[in-house]
Amino acid sequence: MILTKITDTELLYLEQKRQEIDRLLDRYLPGEDVYPQTLHKAMRYSVLAGGKRIRPILTLTAYEVFGGSNPDLINPAVCSLEFVHTYSLIHDDLPCMDDDDLRRGLPTLHKKFDETTAVLAGDALHDLAFRLLAESNSARAVLELAKAIGTFGMLGGQMADVEAEGTDVTLEQIKFIHSHKTGALICAAVRIGAILAEVDEATLEKLSLYGEKIGLAFQIVDDILDVEGDKEKLGKNIGSDRKNQKATYPKVIGLNQSHQDVDRLIDEAVAISREFGLKDNRFITIAHFIGQRDK
Amino acid sequence: MILTKITDTELLYLEQKRQEIDRLLDRYLPGEDVYPQTLHKAMRYSVLAGGKRIRPILTLTAYEVFGGSNPDLINPAVCSLEFVHTYSLIHDDLPCMDDDDLRRGLPTLHKKFDETTAVLAGDALHDLAFRLLAESNSARAVLELAKAIGTFGMLGGQMADVEAEGTDVTLEQIKFIHSHKTGALICAAVRIGAILAEVDEATLEKLSLYGEKIGLAFQIVDDILDVEGDKEKLGKNIGSDRKNQKATYPKVIGLNQSHQDVDRLIDEAVAISREFGLKDNRFITIAHFIGQRDK
């Protein structure tokens, strides 16, 4: 199977959405001059350092594609997905976790500020995400996020990831880690957009499948980029998985098979998204991007 | 003004509620045998180490006093308040924060397990709190909690607390720290119970005042106990505020005046709660307890 190469029009669409989301994040973060300034500065530093904004783009896309049209409802939710992602990165980078110095081309938060501020800023973004989602007045969306990032989702994956360090893992274990650590939040991003657009349950089920495929693919690409990626483009050190003896797809099944798995997952995600019968199918655009990203 | 001494009947009531809440916490925490076991064991270790359970008692009491009667609605919310409190203690005890070794008579979580597990278990309890509150299907209750523990509430107070270490603080600053670091969550505990019981806005406003008074009193007592308390009863080291050069009431206004402020705040809280015209006024019981606790 050969992946359709992502077109310039598709890339332009994603870039426009990314810029739109950057503006939203800036607006929904408390200002640097608002007390407690240090904490707000730290939160802004990490969130506004850049990023692909894949999760909020997924939430916004799912909402719009399924007919949602209320910016006051969706904008806070969109930000909430990126805030949760950033909180997880900040805590993940801590010395007691992955001990990373570089993120998005800048010093990690505990390097730029200190560990105390990094722990609290992570907590604060975690909290702000729920606050914004609650403002959408949908307890179901809150529940969706909480399930995705708790011990049966992202945190469970992170713990498994930490415990797998330096051990021999099976393909099954690594699939568990990836689908929980990364996949669960990506899947929730799609679902929350669709829930706020009030789609029916059958559509939601189908979207979950799409989300699972791209979520797993996203993390396998992450593993691959840690081996073959470009440090400048990525804005973080490469080879850190190997250094930390992390469980990765390339380690377990090799680079070649990892690439093939990504292609297959993206292909399946595209096939699922075609079933929605959409005229303007932006889910395909996002799937292509995830399969082909180099940063 | 002389505080009415708390009666044995009142103490018995609180003890019964505490036991009821301990059973709920045990039930709503994932089992130790559930994957990821390490994380669930760590969460259970910290939550079930004991405690006065003041916050969940306040939530339950407010709900019951104002006529709420659905255990499936209130029980998860009750647990959510204690989970948030425990998450804040776990992160507060970390080496990069207060660096405490002892909590509730046991080694702190990062001492018993490790820092990685402590960061993640705190995050997991933070998340579980929102999950359970979302199950009450009240986005308003979620919003209430998120506001109380974010940068404009508890986390703002924690940051101010950290930044005040070793500096000369004014009474105004210390009041800010205490009312945010501790008061905001205690106030939210009362309000969330009342919101779930669907009280009117006027009652909610009055309850907030009550919550603010007992919340501030609670933290001043904490400061006092760190000077005059009994290590065995408290289950934690005393004198740690002084060691960490913390901003405390006794440091700023002296022990004597601190005691007087507690008495006045409790007196005011009792007066406010009398305005509800309740026959069985358990808010008075709780206020008395907070004013007179020795652990």
Asked if A39 and B137 come within 8 Å (Cβ–Cβ), the reply is no
CB nearest B134 (choices: A96, A97, A146): A146
Query: Number of residue pairs across A and B with CB atoms under 8 Å?
Result: 140
Residue B228 has which token pair?
A: 């005059």
Asked if A142 and B136 come within 8 Å (Cβ–Cβ), the reply is no
Query: Rounded distance, CA B225 to CA A227, Å?
Result: 55
| 3-state secondary structure string across B231-276 | HHHHCCCCCHHHHCCCCCHHHHHHHHHHHHHHHHHHHHHHHHHHCC
Q: Which of A39-43, A99-103, B36-40, B222-226 has the lowest mean pLDDT?
A: A99-103
Cβ burial A48-64 (10 Å sphere, 16+ → b, else e): ebebbbbbbbbbbbbbb
Mean pLDDT within A224-238: 85
Q: Tell me the C-alpha to C-alpha distance, in Å, between residue B192 and each of A119, A120, A228.
A: 27, 24, 51
Residue A231 has which token pair?
A: 């440090």
Contacting residues of B for A94, CB less than 8 Å apart: 119
**Class of residue A130 by CB neighbours under 10 A (exposed 0-12, middle 13-18, buried 19+):** buried
CB nearest A120 (choices: B35, B143, B155): B155
Q: Tell me the C-alpha to C-alpha distance, in Å, between residue B208 and each of A138, A246, B128, B193, B214.
A: 25, 49, 25, 12, 10
Q: What's the predicted TM-score (pTM) here?
A: 0.95
Residue of A nearest to B39 (CA): A159
CATH of domain B8-292: 1.10.600.10
Asked if A150 and B115 come within 8 Å (Cβ–Cβ), the reply is no
Residue of A nearest to B90 (CA): A119
Closest chain B C-alpha to A126 CA, distance in angstroms: 8
Query: Rounded distance, CA B261 to CA A130, Å?
Result: 35
pLDDT value of position A81: 98
Question: Among residues B211, B234, B213, B210, which one has the least CA distance to residue B224?
Answer: B234
Query: Rounded distance, CA B89 to CA A261, Å?
Result: 43
pLDDT value of position B239: 85
Asked if B120 and A39 come within 8 Å (Cβ–Cβ), the reply is no
CB nearest A96 (choices: B119, B131, B151): B119
Residue of B nearest to A124 (CA): B150
Residue of A nearest to B98 (CA): A116
pLDDT value of position B1: 47
Asked if A36 and B97 come within 8 Å (Cβ–Cβ), the reply is no
| DSSP symbols for B117-144 | HHHHHHHHHHHHHHHHHHHTT-HHHHHH
Which residues of chain A from 19 to 38 reach within 8 Å of chain B, CB to CB? 30, 35-36, 38
pLDDT value of position A44: 98
pLDDT over 90, % of chain A? 82
Mean pLDDT within A25-53: 96
Instruction: Tell me which H or E stretch contains A103.
Output: strand A102-103
pLDDT higher for B238 or A284?
A: A284
> Is the pLDDT confidence value at A244 over 60?
yes
| DSSP summary character for residue B107 | E
Q: Select from B73, B89, B114, B116 the residue whose CB has the most chain A CBs within 10 Å, as the one to mutate to test that interface.
A: B116
> Is the pLDDT confidence value at A275 over 70?
yes
pLDDT value of position A4: 67
Contacts of B262 by beta carbon, 8 Å cutoff, 6+ apart: B217, B220, B221, B224, B291
Cα angle for residues A174, A176, A182 (degrees, 5° grid): 95
Which residues of chain A from 196 to 235 reach within 8 Å of chain B, CB to CB? none
Q: What is the mean pLDDT of chain A?
A: 94
pLDDT value of position A3: 60
pLDDT band per the 50, 70, 90 thresholds, residue A240: confident
Q: Select from B111, B119, B179 the residue whose CB has the most chain A CBs within 10 Å, as the one to mutate to test that interface.
A: B119
CB B39 within 8 A of CB B117: yes
CB nearest B116 (choices: A35, A97, A126): A97
Q: Which amino acid is at B78?
A: V
CB nearest B96 (choices: A115, A138, A155): A115
| 3-state secondary structure string across B35-81 | CCHHHHHHHHHHHCCCCCCHHHHHHHHHHHHCCCCCHHHHHHHHHHH
CB nearest B124 (choices: A128, A131, A155): A155
Closest chain A C-alpha to B71 CA, distance in angstroms: 18
Residue of A nearest to B151 (CA): A124
Asked if A134 and B123 come within 8 Å (Cβ–Cβ), the reply is no
Which residues of chain A from 121 to 160 reach within 8 Å of chain B, CB to CB? 122-124, 126-128, 130-131, 133-140, 142-143, 145-147, 149-152, 155-156, 158-160
Asked if A139 and B139 come within 8 Å (Cβ–Cβ), the reply is yes
Asked if A94 and B146 come within 8 Å (Cβ–Cβ), the reply is no
CB nearest B159 (choices: A39, A136, A151): A39
Per-residue tens of pLDDT for chain B, all 295 residues: 456 678 899 899 999 999 999 999 999 999 999 999 999 999 999 999 999 999 999 999 999 999 999 999 999 999 999 999 999 999 999 999 989 898 888 999 999 999 999 999 999 999 999 999 999 889 999 999 999 999 999 999 999 999 998 899 999 999 999 999 999 999 999 999 999 999 999 999 999 999 999 999 999 999 999 998 888 888 888 888 888 888 899 999 999 999 999 999 999 999 999 999 888 889 999 999 999 888 8
Contacting residues of A for B131, CB less than 8 Å apart: 143, 146-147, 150
The residue written with tokens 């009652």 in the block is B203
